[in-house]
Structures are given as structure tokens and as C-alpha cells.
Amino acid sequence: MSGTATPTRPEPPAYDGPAPSPERLIERLLSYDPDADVALVRTAFAMADAAHKPQKRDNGEPSITHPLAVAEILAQYRLDAGTLATALLHDVIEDTGVTREAMTAKVGAEVTALVDGVTKLTRLEINSDRTKQAENFRKLVLALSRDIRVLLVKLADRLHNMRTLGGAREDKRTRIARETMEIYAPLAERIGMDAVKTELQTLSFAQIDPDAYGSIQARLNFLRGQGADVVEEVREELARVCRESGVEVIEVTGRQKSPYSIWEKMHRGNVQFEQLSDIMAFRIVVPTREACYAALGAVHANYPVIAGRFKDYISTPKSNGYQSLHTGVTLREPRNQKIEVQIRTREMHEVAEYGVAAHWAYKQHDAAVQDAQRFRWVQDLLEILENSTPDEFLENTKLELYQDQVFCFTPKGTLIQLPRGATPVDFAYAVHSQVGDTCVGAKVNGRILPLRHQLSNGDQVEIMTARGGTPSPQWERFVVTGKARARIRRWVQAQQRQAYRDAGRAALARAFRQDGADGSEKALEGGLKALKVASLDDLYVAVGNGNLGPKDVVVALYPELRQAARAPRLLPSGPAKSTRGDFNQPITGLVPGMAISYAGCCHPLPGDPIVGIVATGKGVTIHTRGCPTLESFAATPERFLDVDWAESAFAGAAEKGGKGVPKGEGHTGRITVMADNGPTMIATITNAISKQNGDITNLRIINRQSDFFEMLVDVEVRDLRQLVDVIASLRAVQGVHQVERARG
């Protein structure tokens, strides 16, 4: 008998190491909690060991080594016996035949509930696509809002899995690493577990972009070899500087920054590795809060200070409780090297290293719940959850987790923490959702400023509201907090649905009237099943947004009218500027001669990543890949075309010496400008655009106040590079406060 054998998974190598034991874990637990429930940990280990006994890891180790390693990671953070027991058992329900009832009988309801929470999250991660990942994160937020220990166990589980990821397939490694980078590393940072965050980022970076990681690591190794004694020399020098100024120092440590933090700085600042100046960071630990400021004075008195690098997180702590003074200075000659210096007390250092675990009261029954409630961001995530679909929730919470913070104040002195780049609208929603919904203006430090103004540390913000005020769809373009974006988007979608509903109802009434047919609600309800819509409202919306034609509905209810001529149905499209339909097309990936138009919602320019959308009766509309309008086509992926700019789109720039193109032959770039309201300001702005060979085709004031104005300017340019030059030129004009590329 012949045939092809089914490939089998290779047997893992034999394990010849010592038998796994909980003794080291218990010894560490007793070192920080002599009254810990050791019996609970032993019972949990015995149960997990027996349940996992037949199983092996890919490297041949007994499966129990993974939960034991997770528990030991958590013990480093001095967590309670219940958390360690949860870590030991976290895979038992998922991977073995042990039931919840059997587990409850052995270790109690509290630990079983924690294990069950971690198990549900793990099940959702298996083969997760974006939607499942989003739902996974929703479950995680709900779980940690009840007991933050779920997150602590999950982070330790993810950390050990990342450390031992080598045996997995490449696509699986990349997927897990990306999820770790986007969700778990920011969560670790939010609860103050900086060492866990850094290691998760480093391990993920090595999987996602191994070439960049290897290059940076090689350069760091080279620098370490070249100047092995530099860190030690600077460390001793900082200690001496503090002592000579009469500041008592507990310790000074130095380190090189992690490969990912270096890559992030290179990427954010668009600089090469050689241009980075502060890849070394030093930490000075002193006895008291007052000594922190004394040490800062000593450092600033002895080294040139780097402007804009000082941050006081002691007077205004981060939302995760982090406190420290940060500054940047330049070392003395001959090194002339820039370094970062952090100054904190021993207690502040504990919080920085251990985060939420530093204040863990393992003898207090409600510690877990109180720690979850202590973090305002957890409650913000829950509110975003209520206002978002799963995909929107994932997007908005990434915004909430990732960004640095600014600290602003209400007129009564209440501190509001916001991401960097936040606006008065973000501030309003941070105060209360109703304040955000009814916001009509804002005073920043007593001066009325646009709602798109970016707030700075220490700003006092007064929000002006109006009864009956509503969010503006324009706000979504400049807000940076997930909470604000979720509320605005929910309101806009509700308004849009109402508009579609009204338009659809009117279109159907017109269509039935033209054919002399009964279009009453009773008649329409009879055709819902055939039209595959759930309700009359959904039917009206589908007709209003163009997914169903009015004639399609008439024919579905009255098939005898099918022979009637049906007008072609055109899908809605934004304002566009058509190009010549000749064979010298500026876009590749299309059939020669196909009609092309450029979307007025995003104004694509040569140099932008683009995508084509097939519009019935209108050829192809070109959008930028980041255009928000593309979301409305998500249900019809067959209309998307993979296109790019042809060389002809850039033609003529070289021989014209970088000058503008003949009028009508360029592309429209739209920008917003905010500037002082002076008598010659508009002339100054138009002159700056003209100097960059930009041709203004439209200019409109959209907001004018006594001391500032905002305007939209359409500029005809060759390509993206020329528009960037125009923006840079405007930003250099005195009196111009903000210039951004508009997307609508």
C-alpha cells in the first residue's frame, strides 16, 4: 500500500534538568511577607504540577516550568500568595481537564475567579485577527477594572512567553510581538512597571524588525567596548558633584538606553544613530524630596543644561504614580556628550521600578479593587468601551495608552492630565462627557483661543459651554484622546444615521410614487426578509447611504415591475477635480484611459501613499491611504484598487528647477493656518506661500476672533514635497501659531 505519510510534530528533546520545585518561590515570598499563606502556594503548585504532568514544552521542559516562571516573575514584585497561586494555575483550566469546581475546592473561589479571568483572555488570543484582538482587549479592561491582579498575571505570562518565543513559527512570532508592543507594553507602563515595559518592547522589537534591532544592538555593543569606563566615570563624577554641594546621595547608577527607545527617538526625530546625543541615562537616588531639588541645583550648577529637557514629575506625578525629576545636561570637555539625569527618592524609585506592586497591600482584602479604582485611566477606558465598536475601542485605547502627558488645571485648580498634543476639546471631555458635548469655546490662561489649540504644561483652561451645544464633526480631526474621539464619533454616527434615514425615507416615497405602488410601512415590512435588512430603520439607512437603490426596493416588493427601466445608481463621492482621461495617466495600476478623480476629502498629492476606489459611473477616485472616508467602503473591499503614482505625476519638477507648475496642471493641497489677527497678516501669509511657488486657488476664513483667526487655504503644488516646503515657510512667519495639512 502506497501513500504519503501525514507529517507529525517532532518529539521535544528529553529533559534532564532538576525536577521543578516551588521552594525557591516560597522562600522569596516569605522574604517580604513572613505571614503569607504558604499552604495555598504549595497546593496550587501541586495541583498545577499534577495537571500538567503529561505535557512538555517545545524545548522538552515539563510544562509546569512556564507557570512556575510566571509566578517567580511576580514574586520579584513582592505580590501576595493569591496572585502567585493564580500564576501557577493560570493554564490549568485552559490546557487540562481540571474543572472550575475542582479548582475551587482546592484553592478557593477568589483564586479560581482570577484563573478563570486569565483563561478567558488566553482563549480569545488564539489565532486572533484584529476583531478578536479588539474583543480580547475589551475583556481585559473589564477584568482589570474589577481586580488589577488579572493584568499583573497576564503581563508576567506575556513576558515569559516573549522570552521563550523562539520555537514558534515566524508569522506567529511577529503577530504576538506586535500585539505585545501595541497593547501589553503600554499597559505595563501605565501601571508603572517600567522594567517589564522595557523588556517587552525590546523582545518585541527584535521580532518585528530584526534588522533594525540588530543594527542598533551592534552599535551599542561597539560603544560599550569603546568606552567601557565612561558610564562608571560619569557615575562617580555625578556623585562627587552632589557631595561637594552638600547633598547626601544614596546611590548613582548609569545605563545605556534600550534598543527600542533609541530606535523610537531616531524615528520620531528623523535622525541617524550618530546624531543621537543622549543614549546614556543616569539615576541619582537621594533620601528626601527636598534633596531631589538640591541635587538638581548641583547638577545644573556644574553642567550646561539642555533647553526643554527639564520635567518635574514630583510636583505633578504621572497618572501611574511615577515621580522623579528629569533633566538633560552636557558633560564637560573633552567628552561633550549629552546625558539624561533622573533624580528621585528611594520611595519614588520603588514606585518607578515596581509600579502598582510597590503599594500593594497584600494584607488588605480590597487592595486589588482599590488599586484598579485609583487609576483614572482605567475608568476612562471603560467609558471609551461604552461608546465604541470593538475595532474603534482598540484604536482609541491605543491613543489613550501611548502618548506622553501634559498637566493642565481648571479655574478652581483641579489637575487634569492629558496626552501631549491635547486640545481644549480633549480637556473638556476629560472634565466630563457632558462638558465636552456642549463645549463652544475655551479660554487658555484667560485668553480665548481656538478649540484646536494645543495645550502646554501648566495651562489653566476654562471651558465655555452652551445649552443645546453639540459636538462638531471637525473636532475628530484634531482631538488626541480616545475618550474624546469615541464620544465625537458616536454623536457623528448618530447624526449621519438620522440623515441617511430621512434621505432614504424620502427616496423610497418618491420611487414608489413614480411607479404607482404601495410604499406604506406595512408593505415595506413585508419585504424586509427579501432585502436582508433587520428593520425599517435599517432599510431607510441602506437606501440613504447608497447601499440599496430605491428601485431595488420597489422591484423586491413588486417583481412584476422588474421590466421597467432602471436608472444607473451612483454611489456618493466627495468633490473631486478630474484629470484628462488620456493614456499618459499619472496613476499606475489602472486600465489605460480610465477616468480618474481626486477625492476632495483628503486631497492626495504625488508622494502620498494612495488607494483607488471604483465609483460607479465615475471611474476611479484616488484617496490617501489614511483617509477616514475609506472606512465607509469597508463593506465593499472589491471596490479597492492597489494604485500608485506614475513617474509622469512628478514630471517637470527637475527641469523647472523646483518651480511651480502651470496653473491647472498641479494638485491641490489644503492647509489650515492659525495666526494673529493683524492688518497685514493675510498678505504676509500669501507672500510666504508665493515664495515657495505655491499657487493659491482658494482662501477661506473659518474662524475669526479679536486676537486670532483661522483659515483654510487651497494651494496648487507639484507634489507632497512642495506642500511640505510651503508649510515649513508658513511656520517660520512671525505671528503664525499653527500650520497643518487639512484632510477635508
pLDDT tens, 591-624?
666 678 888 888 898 888 888 888 765 578 888 8
Task: Spot the catalytic one: 95, 264, 462, 725.
Answer: 95
Per-residue pLDDT at 514: 80
CATH architecture of 667-741: 2-Layer Sandwich (3.30)
Q: How confident is the model at residue 127 (pLDDT cuts 50, 70, 90)?
A: very low
Which backbone phi and psi does 362 adopt, to 5 degrees? Answer: -70, -10
Percent of residues in the chain assigned helix, strand, coil, to nearest 5: 50, 15, 35
Question: C-alpha dihedral over 676, 681, 687, 688, to 10 degrees?
Answer: -10
Q: 513617474: which residue's cell?
A: 647
Residue 189 near residue 178, CB atoms below 8 Å: no
DSSP labels, 38-78? HHHHHHHHHHHHHHHTT-B-TTS-BTTHHHHHHHHHHHTTT
Mean pLDDT of the 586-592 span? 75
> In whole angstroms, how large is the CA radius of gyration of the chain?
31
DSSP state of 181: I
Residue 288 near residue 242, CB atoms below 8 Å: no
Runs of H (alpha helix) within 303-450: 346-354, 367-374, 376-386, 390-402, 424-431, 433-437
What kind and span of H or E run contains 635? none
- Provide CB contacts within 8 A for 598, sequence distance 6+: 576, 577, 579, 604, 621, 622, 667, 668
Residue with more model confidence, 744 or 334: 334
Is 236 known to be catalytic?
no
Domain coordinates of the chain in residue numbers? 23-211, 220-356, 490-561, 579-643, 667-741
CB atoms within 10 A of CB 590: 18
Question: C-alpha dihedral over 490, 495, 500, 501, to 10 degrees?
Answer: 100
Beta bridge partners of 116: none
Is 94 known to be catalytic?
yes
What class does CATH assign to 23-211? Answer: mainly alpha
CATH homologous superfamily of 220-356 equals Beta Polymerase, domain 2 (3.30.460.10)
pLDDT tens, 287-321?
999 999 999 999 999 999 887 788 888 988 876 67
Residue 622's SS3 state is: strand
Lowest average pLDDT, out of 63-77, 150-164, 382-396, 486-500, goes to 382-396
For residue 367, is pLDDT > 50?
no
Q: How far apart are CA 41 and CA 151, in angstroms?
A: 19
Q: How far apart are CA 471 and CA 466, in angstroms?
A: 11
Per the document, the length of the chain is 744
For residue 364, is pLDDT > 50?
no
Q: How confident is the model at residue 180 (pLDDT cuts 50, 70, 90)?
A: confident
Q: How far apart are CA 28 and CA 105, in angstroms?
A: 26
DSSP labels, 203-245? HHHHHH-HHHHHHHHHHHHHHHHHTTTHHHHHHHHHHHHHHHT
Q: How far apart are CA 421 and CA 452, in angstroms?
A: 10
Please give the grid coordinates belonging to residue 496: 449621519
Mean pLDDT of the 181-204 span? 83
Beta bridge partners of 408: 416
Write the single-letter amino acid at 313: Y
CB atoms within 10 A of CB 63: 20
Per-residue pLDDT at 368: 43
Q: How far apart are CA 151 and CA 79, in angstroms?
A: 13
For residue 207, is pLDDT > 70?
yes
Q: What percent of the chain lies above the pLDDT cut of 90?
A: 14
DSSP state of 586: S
Q: What is the end-to-end Cα distance of the chain in Å, rounded? A: 69
Per-residue pLDDT at 583: 43
For residue 282, is pLDDT > 70?
yes
18 preceded by cis ω (within 30°)? no
Q: How confident is the model at residue 362 (pLDDT cuts 50, 70, 90)?
A: very low
Residue 471 exposed, middle or buried by CB count within 10 Å (0-12, 13-18, 19+): buried
Please give the grid coordinates belonging to residue 194: 517600567
Residue 668 near residue 598, CB atoms below 8 Å: yes
Per-residue pLDDT at 250: 93
Q: 501525514: which residue's cell?
A: 6
Q: How far apart are CA 730 and CA 715, in angstroms?
A: 13
Per-residue pLDDT at 584: 54
Residue 580 near residue 624, CB atoms below 8 Å: no
Residue 272 near residue 336, CB atoms below 8 Å: no
Q: How far apart are CA 407 and CA 39, in angstroms?
A: 46
Write the single-letter amino acid at 288: T
Write the single-letter amino acid at 146: R
Which backbone phi and psi does 482 adopt, to 5 degrees? Answer: -65, -35
Mean pLDDT of the 443-459 span? 84
Please give the grid coordinates belonging to residue 87: 500564576
Which of 284, 283, 281 is CA-nearest to residue 249?
Answer: 284
Q: How far apart are CA 83 and CA 293, in angstroms?
A: 38
Per-residue pLDDT at 498: 81
pTM: 0.52
Residue with more model confidence, 606 or 641: 606
What is the pLDDT of the chain when averaged over all its residues? 77
DSSP state of 305: B
Task: Spot the catalytic one: 94, 125, 347, 515.
Answer: 94
Q: How far apart are CA 548 and CA 730, in angstroms?
A: 46
Mean pLDDT of the 44-59 span? 83
What crossing angle do the helices spanning 482-514 and 390-402 adopt, rounded to 10°? 150
What kind and span of H or E run contains 645? strand 644-645
Per-residue pLDDT at 327: 92
Q: How confident is the model at residue 401 (pLDDT cuts 50, 70, 90)?
A: low
For residue 40, is pLDDT > 50?
yes
Q: How far apart are CA 719 and CA 408, in angstroms?
A: 39
What order of strands is seen across the sheet that includes strand 619-624? 576-578, 596-599, 619-624, 610-615, 640-641
Mean pLDDT of the 171-177 span? 84
Q: How far apart are CA 200 and CA 163, in angstroms?
A: 9
For residue 586, is pLDDT > 50?
yes
Per-residue pLDDT at 242: 93
CA 47, 50, 52: angle at the middle one, nearest 5?
Answer: 105
Per-residue pLDDT at 384: 55
Please give the grid coordinates belonging to residue 46: 501541586
Write the single-letter amino acid at 16: D
Q: What percent of the chain lies above the pLDDT cut of 70?
A: 76
pLDDT tens, 218-265?
877 776 665 556 788 888 999 999 999 999 999 999 887 788 888 877
Mean pLDDT of the 135-155 span? 68
- Provide CB contacts within 8 A for 303, sequence distance 6+: 329, 330, 331, 332
